[in-house]
């Protein structure tokens, strides 16, 4: 058995210095160019300054539709004494046409009175009027664009005009990507076996390469076999300017990447002090960079961005693009170890005059954090993390305009919030981001002015009403209004056919039924605790009471996938995953809106969309909802 526990924990800046320094030393960044047809040059980078091969116009050209004349022949013309020109004294010219040497002015068509073959002129022409002189646009040898210019539509037009048919451009660096792993599949399906994974990292890295201006070559998936991986490296190394080996960079049994680099070239770094991204490998084969990219998507994305991106830009002769940075308040405490550079993916939005950064789920396996992230917070080595509310810099990955048109919902989770987001996006170009922290978490967020509204479904166990008593208690200093989004069914979610024959809360206690709970502060948890109390059931008798998930779909998925047998949740989740559902009660799911934090037009927009037929139809079609109260304002505290 072969195991390599990494020896190193190289600090990020050192790892970059070692890697770039070695490449520099070996002359890797020498710019290579090639000459290509100008028609295929869009988005390529000029390898040398492009200069006009020919002037434009390359002949005296008419700037108008009209007639070319000798100015001298028209002198003295006026309305009472028009000048008549014979057919040999003028020629008709259209815009852009050649004005022969015997003429020195053009009269526009609107000022010409045709009379058979003669023309009548009532205003003299000034010499050279309406004639574009040779080289007016470009003179032969003029520099049109300096080296390193990215060729766009206008450069192309100008090159063609200047008779440039070929251009010298920088060669695109070729990145060979080798996905490794016996568990990997090229295509996914709904009935994959446990342990099988769709290979997605190489596809992501290819698209990133293309974004940065490099070309990517994907090798077929290589199973975990030292000889096969070595063959794959041999196959690609001559065609590529960079070799990327996906996965296989951790300390697992099948991690051959580092030893192959050591044998075929030089291993520079194994293990960097970043989070995520720790198991990265950096090396050289034939003086070309080799990067071993960890298997978790976020680690892969980060390692590739940190190490491949600067190499590609440098190899293209381009300056490293400066990230757009905004100053934010971080919405919650972010822990960080002193010894590592941490990268935290965040959503960002503007709440009145503050930009807030909302850290996303930090698990390295969470592709949804990659999709959602508007930017990245970098906590440098030597720092101890951030307290909630403290200032931080976010490197934006999405346009600032998008951040500025974002509505933020923090609180309880409901699928209807996704429907709302979709409609707002498509019909009104408004982005709605939502974070699921449960109803109480939503109220806390409202108290800190960190969201525009919160989804809440908190049962007042004394009155049987929902939400209002909680909001009155916690939000007593700020105006708020409460709007019903949906009414929905809560019940017990169990496997198809209900194998344990669960019928009510009283069936839950005991070791054989594995329950999966929602987190504290969620409305569903309040409901469960209320029901347990009402039925005099001790939480400790429920197997799994302490195992918490954050969404309705997550608990349903646990039941579906047999890591649990029962959960309390909404009908919609049970239906989505084709599970059985035992109704327990109907509850009201409201939005609590802070009018001080929203423009009036955004509040109106929100109400309009919630009351729209299209929203209601999507909710009803999904099932488990009742829309009788949807869009009704339940309460406003009138402060």
Least distance CB 366 / its own copies (angstroms): 5
Residue 357: both structure tokens together: 């950064």
| Cα distance between residue 296 and residue 285, in whole Å | 24
Candidate segments 18-26, 422-430, 451-459, 481-489, binder of its own copies by CB under 8 A: 422-430
Query: Mask: binding to its own copies, 249-288, rule CB under 8 A, as x and -?
Result: -xxxxx----------------------------------
- How many Cβ atoms sit within 10 Å of the Cβ of residue 186? 10
Which residues lie below 8 Å from residue 476, measured CB to CB, with a gap of 6+? 637
Using CB under 8 A, which residues numbered 546 to 605 contact its own copies? 547, 549, 551, 553-554, 556-558, 560-563, 576-577
Using CB under 8 A, which residues numbered 432 to 471 contact its own copies? none
Using CB under 8 A, which residues numbered 308 to 367 contact its own copies? 317, 319, 322, 363, 365-367
Burial class (CB in 10 A: 0-12, 13-18, 19+), 561: exposed
Of 421 and 447, the one with the shorter C-beta distance to its own copies is: 421
Peptide bond before 47: cis, by omega within 30 degrees of 0?
A: no
Least distance CB 624 / its own copies (angstroms): 13
Note whether 30 binds its own copies by CB under 8 A. Answer: no
Note whether 72 binds its own copies by CB under 8 A. Answer: no
Selected binder of its own copies within 18, 70, 98, 595 (CB under 8 A): 98
Least distance CB 329 / its own copies (angstroms): 24
Of 302 and 356, the one with the shorter C-beta distance to its own copies is: 302
| Cα distance between residue 393 and residue 405, in whole Å | 20
Task: Please name the residue that has the structure tokens 């908190």.
Answer: 458
Candidate segments 267-275, 282-290, 383-391, 423-431, binder of its own copies by CB under 8 A: 423-431
Which one, of 179, 448, 445, lies nearest residue 292 by Cα?
179
- How many Cβ atoms sit within 10 Å of the Cβ of residue 10? 22
Which residues lie below 8 Å from residue 181, measured CB to CB, with a gap of 6+? 197, 199, 221, 223, 224, 246, 247, 248, 254, 295
Of 84 and 143, the one with the shorter C-beta distance to its own copies is: 143
Least distance CB 207 / its own copies (angstroms): 4
Using CB under 8 A, which residues numbered 189 to 218 contact its own copies? 189-190, 192, 194-195, 197-201, 203-208, 210-211
Note whether 158 binds its own copies by CB under 8 A. Answer: yes
Selected binder of its own copies within 133, 476, 506, 535 (CB under 8 A): 133
Task: Please name the residue that has the structure tokens 């192959």.
Answer: 260
Contact 311, 242 (CB under 8 A): yes
* Torsion, Cα of 472, 474, 477, 480 (10° steps): -60
Query: Mask: binding to its own copies, 392-411, rule CB under 8 A, as x and -?
Result: ---------x----------
- Give residue 597's Cα distance to chain centre: 26
Note whether 239 binds its own copies by CB under 8 A. Answer: no
Which residues lie below 8 Å from residue 293, measured CB to CB, with a gap of 6+? 201, 205, 244, 245, 246, 247, 249, 280, 299, 300, 303, 304
Number of residues that bind its own copies (CB under 8 A): 120
Least distance CB 46 / its own copies (angstroms): 10
Note whether 416 binds its own copies by CB under 8 A. Answer: no
Least distance CB 233 / its own copies (angstroms): 21
- How many Cβ atoms sit within 10 Å of the Cβ of residue 563? 12
Selected binder of its own copies within 154, 325, 335, 632 (CB under 8 A): 154
Selected binder of its own copies within 13, 21, 39, 520 (CB under 8 A): 39
Selected binder of its own copies within 139, 174, 620, 634 (CB under 8 A): 139
Note whether 85 binds its own copies by CB under 8 A. Answer: no
In this structure, what DSSP letter does residue 45 have? B
Note whether 245 binds its own copies by CB under 8 A. Answer: no
Note whether 146 binds its own copies by CB under 8 A. Answer: yes
Contact 456, 465 (CB under 8 A): no
Phi, psi (5° rounding) for residue 276? -75, 180
Residue 557: both structure tokens together: 């998925």
Selected binder of its own copies within 90, 130, 155, 411 (CB under 8 A): 155
Strand order in the sheet with 105-108: 90-93, 66-69, 105-108
| Cα distance between residue 79 and residue 77, in whole Å | 7
Least distance CB 85 / its own copies (angstroms): 17
Torsion sign across C-alpha atoms 599, 616, 475, 635: positive
Residue 490: both structure tokens together: 């809560």
Using CB under 8 A, which residues numbered 468 to 527 contact its own copies? none
Note whether 107 binds its own copies by CB under 8 A. Answer: no
Selected binder of its own copies within 33, 70, 71, 97 (CB under 8 A): 97
Selected binder of its own copies within 142, 225, 507, 529 (CB under 8 A): 142
Selected binder of its own copies within 153, 464, 497, 511 (CB under 8 A): 153
């Amino acid at each position: 058995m072969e195991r390599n526990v990494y020896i190193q924990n190289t600090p990020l800046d050192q790892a970059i210095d070692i890697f770039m320094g070695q490449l520099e030393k070996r002359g890797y960044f020498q710019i290579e160019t090639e000459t290509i047809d100008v028609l295929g040059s869009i988005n390529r980078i000029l390898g040398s300054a492009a200069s006009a091969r020919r002037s434009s116009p390359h002949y005296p050209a008419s700037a108008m539709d009209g007639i070319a004349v000798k100015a001298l022949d028209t002198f003295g013309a006026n309305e009472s004494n028009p000048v008549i020109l014979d057919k040999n004294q003028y020629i008709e010219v259209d815009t852009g046409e050649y004005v022969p040497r015997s003429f020195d002015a053009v009269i526009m068509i609107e000022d010409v009175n045709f009379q058979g073959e003669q023309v009548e002129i009532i205003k003299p022409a000034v010499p050279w009027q309406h004639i574009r002189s040779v080289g007016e646009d470009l003179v032969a040898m003029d520099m049109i664009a300096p080296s390193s210019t990215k060729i766009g539509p206008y450069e192309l037009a100008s090159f063609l005009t200047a008779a440039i048919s070929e251009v010298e451009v920088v060669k695109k660096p070729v990145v060979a990507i080798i996905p490794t792993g016996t568990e990997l599949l090229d295509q996914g399906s709904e009935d994959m076996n446990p342990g099988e994974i769709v290979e997605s990292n190489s596809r992501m890295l290819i698209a990133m390469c293309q974004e940065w201006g490099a070309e990517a070559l994907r090798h077929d998936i290589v199973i975990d076999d030292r000889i096969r991986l070595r063959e794959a490296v041999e196959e690609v190394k001559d065609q590529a300017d960079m070799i990327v080996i996906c996965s296989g960079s951790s300390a697992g049994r099948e991690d051959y990447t580092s030893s192959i680099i050591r044998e075929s070239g030089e291993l520079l770094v194994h293990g960097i002090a970043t989070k995520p991204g720790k198991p990265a490998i950096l090396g050289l084969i034939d003086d070309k960079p080799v990067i071993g990219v960890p298997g978790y998507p976020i680690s892969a994305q980060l390692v590739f961005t940190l190490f491949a991106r600067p190499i590609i830009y440098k190899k293209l002769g381009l300056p490293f693009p400066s990230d757009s940075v905004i100053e934010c308040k971080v919405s919650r405490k972010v822990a960080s170890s002193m010894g590592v550079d941490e990268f935290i993916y965040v959503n960002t939005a503007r709440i009145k005059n503050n930009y807030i950064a909302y850290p996303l789920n930090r698990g390295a396996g969470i592709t949804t954090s990659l999709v959602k992230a508007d930017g990245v917070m970098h906590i440098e080595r030597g720092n101890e993390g951030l307290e909630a509310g403290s200032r931080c810099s976010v490197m934006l990955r999405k346009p600032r305009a998008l951040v500025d048109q974002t509505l933020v919902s923090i609180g309880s989770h409901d699928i209807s919030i996704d429907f709302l987001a979709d409609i707002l996006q498509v019909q009104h170009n408004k982005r709605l981001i939502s974070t699921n922290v449960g109803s109480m978490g939503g109220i806390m967020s409202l108290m800190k002015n960190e969201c525009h509204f919160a989804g809440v479904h908190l049962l007042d166990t004394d009155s049987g009403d929902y939400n209002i008593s909680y909001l009155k208690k916690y939000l007593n200093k700020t105006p708020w209004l409460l709007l019903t989004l949906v009414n929905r069914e809560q019940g017990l979610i169990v496997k198809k056919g209900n194998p344990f024959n669960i019928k009510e809360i009283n069936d839950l206690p005991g070791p054989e039924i594995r329950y999966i709970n929602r987190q504290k502060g969620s409305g569903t948890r309040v409901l469960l605790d209320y029901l347990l109390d009402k039925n005099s059931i001790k939480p400790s008798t429920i197997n799994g009471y302490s195992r918490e998930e954050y969404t309705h779909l997550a608990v349903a998925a646990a039941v579906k996938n047999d890591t649990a047998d029962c959960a309390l949740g909404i009908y919609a989740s049970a239906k989505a995953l084709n599970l059985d559902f035992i109704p327990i009660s109907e509850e009201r799911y409201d939005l609590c809106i802070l009018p001080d934090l929203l423009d009036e037009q955004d509040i109106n927009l929100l109400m309009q969309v919630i009351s729209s037929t299209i929203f209601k139809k999507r909710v009803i079609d999904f099932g488990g909802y009742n829309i009788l109260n949807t869009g009704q304002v339940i309460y406003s505290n009138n402060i």
